Structure 1
Amino acid sequence: MTRIDRRFAKLKAEGRPAFVSYVMAGDPDLETSLEIVKGLAGAGVDVIELGLPFTDPMADGPTIQLAGQRALEAGMTLRKTLDVVRALRESDDDTPVVLMGYYNPIYSMGVETFLAEAQSAGVDGLIVVDLPPEEDEELCLPAQAAGLNFIRLATPTTDARRLPKVLSNTSGFVYYVSITGITGAAEAAASAVGPEVARIKASTPLPVCVGFGIKTPARAAEIGQVADGVVVGSAIVERIAAGDAPAQVLAFVKSLADAAHAARG
Structure 2
Amino acid sequence: MNRLTVYEAAHNADYPLFIPFIMAGDPTRSATVDLALQLQEAGAHILELGIPYSDPLADGPVLQRSAKRALQQGMSLKSAMDLIPEMRKRGLTIPVVVFTYYNPVFQMGMESFLETANEKGADGVLVPDLPFEESQDFTALAKDYQLANISLVAPTSTTRVHKIASHAEGFLYCVSSLGVTGTREVFPQEAYDFIHTVKEHSAVPVAVGFGISKPEHVQSLSGICSGVIVGSAIMKLVEKHANELAAGEEKKKEALQEIKTFVSTLISS
What TM-score does the superposition give when structure 2 sets the normalisation length?
0.89
> What is the rounded CA distance, in whole Å, between the counterparts of 1:246 and 1:91 in structure 2?
16
Deviation of 1:138 after TM superposition, in Å, equals: 4.6
1:4 match: 4
Q: 1:74 and 1:93, CA in 2 relative to 1: closer, same or farther beyond 3 A? A: closer
Residues in 1 aligned to 2:267 and 2:222: alpha-carbon distance in whole angstroms: 10
2:158 to 136, 156, 160: 160
Match among 238, 245, 256 for residue 246 of structure 1: 256
Please state how far the C-alpha of 1:115 moved relative to its aligned partner: 1.1
Tell me the distance in 2 between the aligned counterparts of 1:100 and 1:29.
18
C-alpha distance in 1, partners of 2:69/2:199? 37
Counterpart in 2 of 1:45?
44
What's the counterpart of residue 184 of structure 1? Answer: 182
TM-score, structure 1 length as denominator? 0.90
| Structure 1 partner of 2:138 | 139
Shift of 1:32: 1.2
Amino acid at match of 1:250: K
Q: CA deviation at 1:10?
A: 3.2
Distance 1:36 1:177 in 2: 24
What are the ranges of 5 or more consecutive residues in structure 1 without an aligned counterpart?
260-265
Offset from partner CA, 1:126-181 (integer Å, 9 cap, x none): 1101101121245222112221111111112x212222332353211111110111
Q: In structure 2, do the counterparts of structure 1 residues 137 and 8 end up closer, same or farther at CA, with 3 Å as the change threshold?
A: closer
Identity %, equivalent residues:
36
Comparing 199-208 and 124-133, the one that deviates more: 199-208
Distance 1:192 1:225, change over 3 A: farther
Equivalents in 2 of 1:172, 1:69: separation in Å? 29
Partner Cα separation in structure 2 for residue 101 and residue 120 of structure 1: 17
When the two chains are superposed, the root-mean-square deviation of aligned CA atoms in Å is 1.8
Q: How many residues in Structure 1 have an aligned counterpart in Structure 2?
A: 257
Q: Is the 8 A contact 1:187 1:212 kept in 2?
A: no
Match of 1:125 in 2: 124
- In structure 1, what is the Cα distance between the partners aligned to 2:181 and 2:196? 23
After superposition, the Cα gap between the structure-2 partners of 1:145 and 1:139, relative to the gap in structure 1 and judged at 3 Å, is: same
Q: Aligned partners of 1:255, 1:135: CA distance in 2, in Å? A: 39
Tell me which stretches of 4 or more aligned residues in structure 1 moved more than 6 Å: none
Structure 2: which 5+ residue stretches go unaligned?
A: 243-254
Letter in 1 for 2:216: A
Change (3 A) 1:190 1:43: farther
- Give 1:229 deviation, angstroms: 0.3
Partner of 1:70: 69
Secondary structure in 2 matching 1:213: coil
Asked whether the 8 Å contact 1:26–1:71 carries over to 2, the reply is: yes
SS class of match (1:66): helix
Letter in 2 for 1:231: I
Contact persistence 2:36–2:92 (CA under 8 A): no
Listed one character per residue, the Cα deviations across residues 211-246 of structure 1 (whole Å, up to 9, x for unaligned) are: 111111221222123110011110000000111622
Cα deviation for residue 199 of structure 1 reads 1.3
2:245 corresponding residue in structure 1: none
Counterpart of 2:265? 255
Specify the alignment match of 2:80 in structure 1. Answer: 81
User: Do 1:46 and 1:95's aligned partners in 2 also have CA atoms closer than 8 Å?
Assistant: yes
C-alpha contact 1:190 1:223 (8 A) present in aligned 2: no
Contact 1:61 1:183 in 2 (8 A): yes
Distance 1:126 1:187, change over 3 A: farther
SS in 2 for 1:176: strand
